[in-house]
């Protein structure tokens, strides 16, 4: 397995729509494992393929806490087929928008259909953090980030902060 490079805003690839996966190959399974390893190392609870520069419709998710057994999901061509009327507002973050958090409104529960890494169709009814994470990750496949739910002023401010932080880190790593 290998750690992949996570793209950060304002990388234009994050704004692109991803293509459906047509065939599940060993290479694809390896990429999903690498995505999961990258997500755990970050650490994060979800990662979508476009975040590692791959415009394919697949995401990995694991919302369990450190003291719980791991429960990873690898979802290929996921689609939300039903959702609750009720919504919930939660502070969200994103590995492509490091260390920035803002409240986003999401459906409280969702049903997601996807193909797993063995080619088996799966249906999952999710609530709580898992439901929020599924909605967040699937939006990445449309080129939408959680900051796109915020006002332009707020969004621009967050992107500027990320760029500033990255410049600071880069200049300091050169000094070492």
CA distances from 166 to 75, 104, 153, 154, 163 (A): 30, 24, 20, 19, 5
Question: Taking CB under 5 A as the rule, does residue 39 contact Ni ion?
Answer: no
Tell me if 45 contacts Ni ion by CB under 5 A: no
Task: Examine the residue annotation and report whether 137 is marked as an active-site residue of this protein.
Answer: yes
Nearest distance in Å: CB 166, Ni ion: 17
Tell me which of 113, 137, 163, 174 is the catalytic residue.
137
Nearer to Ni ion, 24 or 35 (CB): 35
Ramachandran sector of residue 119 (left: φ over 0; alpha: ψ -120 to 50; beta: rest): left
Residue 48 half-sphere exposure toward CB, CA atoms < 13 A: 31
Supply 16's token pair.
């692109």
CB-nearest residue to Ni ion: 94
Cα–Cα distance, 118 to 127 (Å, whole number): 25
Tell me: does residue 52 bind Ni ion (CB under 5 A). no
Nearer to Ni ion, 76 or 147 (CB): 147
Q: Which two tokens stand for residue 27?
A: 């290479």
158 part of the interface to Ni ion, by CB under 5 A = no
Question: Does the footprint of Ni ion cover residue 94 (CB under 5 A)?
Answer: yes
Residue 24 in the binding site for Ni ion (CB under 5 A): no
For Ni ion, the binding residues (CB under 5 A) are: 94
């Amino acid at each position: 397995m290998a750690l992949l490079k996570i793209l950060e805003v304002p990388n234009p690839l994050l704004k692109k729509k991803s293509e459906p996966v047509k065939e599940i190959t060993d290479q694809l399974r390896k990429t999903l494992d690498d995505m999961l390893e990258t997500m755990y190392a970050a650490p994060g609870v979800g990662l979508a393929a476009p975040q590692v520069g791959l415009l394919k419709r697949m995401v990995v998710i694991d919302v369990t806490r450190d003291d719980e057994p791991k429960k990873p999901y690898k979802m290929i061509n996921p689609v939300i087929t039903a959702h609750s009327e009720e919504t919930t507002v939660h502070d969200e973050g994103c590995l492509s928008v490091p260390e920035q958090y803002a409240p986003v409104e999401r459906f409280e529960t969702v049903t997601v259909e996807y193909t797993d890494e063995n080619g088996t169709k799966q249906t999952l009814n999710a609530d709580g953090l898992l439901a929020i994470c599924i909605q967040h990750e699937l939006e990445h496949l449309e080129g939408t980030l959680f900051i796109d739910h915020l006002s332009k002023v707020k969004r621009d401010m967050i992107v500027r902060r990320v760029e500033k932080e990255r410049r600071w880190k880069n200049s300091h790593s050169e000094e070492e």
